[in-house]
Amino acid sequence: MSFLDDVFVNAAAAVDAMGKAANEMVDKSKVFISTAELRNKISASFETLGRYVYDTHAANNTDPAVVTQYANEISELISELKNLQDNIVASSGKKVCPVCGCSNSNDSLFCKKCGTSLDFTHTYTVKPKPSENVVSEAASKTDEESAPVEQPVPEVTEEPVSEVGDDSKDTAE
C-alpha cells in the first residue's frame, strides 16, 4: 500500500463521518419542524374551539360534547408535542425541570430557573406537623393581645422513587 492509498482510505472515512453527521442534522431538523407544525396545529385548534364557543354562546346553543371533542383533540396534540420535546431533550443529554420545564445541563443538581431539585432518584414530601389549634387561640385573643402567630415548620422526609415498571406500589391515594 502506498501513501496515496492511505489518503483515499482516510478521505473515505472522513466523508462517511460527515455523511453521518449530516444525516443526524437532517433528523434533528425534521423533529424541530414537526414541533413547529404541532404548535401551529395546537394554535389553530384553540382558535377553532374559541370561535365555536363564541359563536354558539352568542346563539345560546353550545353543545358540551363538541367542546369536549375539541378539548380532547387539543390534549392529544399537546401530549404529542411534549413527547417530541422530551425526545429532543433526551437526545441532547439535558435534564428538564419537572416544575417549570426549563432545560438544564445533565450534571445539574438544581434547576437554574426555579431551584427545584433535579435529583430524580428521590422524591421529597412535605408533611406538616400537627398544630395545637393555632387558629382558635388567635381568634380568642383581643386586638391588644393578638400578635403574629408562628406557624409550625413542616417536616420534610425523603422517599426513594420506585423503579420504572415497578407495579408493587399502589399509586392511588
Contact between 70 and 42 (Cβ < 8 Å): no
The segments of the chain whose pLDDT lies below 50 read 123-126, 132-141, 144, 146, 162-173
pLDDT in tens, 49-62: 999 999 898 888 88
Q: Looking at the domain assignment, is residue 66 inside a domain? A: yes
Distances (CA, A) of 26 to 19, 80, 145, 167: 10, 20, 71, 39
Q: Looking at the domain assignment, is residue 148 inside a domain? A: yes
Q: Looking at the domain assignment, is residue 31 inside a domain? A: yes
Q: Which residues contact 120 (CB under 8 A, 6 or more apart)?
A: 95, 161
Contact between 20 and 28 (Cβ < 8 Å): no
Structural domain span for residue 150: 122-160
Q: How many domains does the chain have?
A: 2
Q: Looking at the domain assignment, is residue 33 inside a domain? A: yes
pLDDT in tens, 65-89: 999 999 999 999 999 988 887 777 7
In the numeric block, the cell 383533540 is attached to 73
Does 76 lie in the same domain as 154?
A: no
Contact between 158 and 124 (Cβ < 8 Å): yes
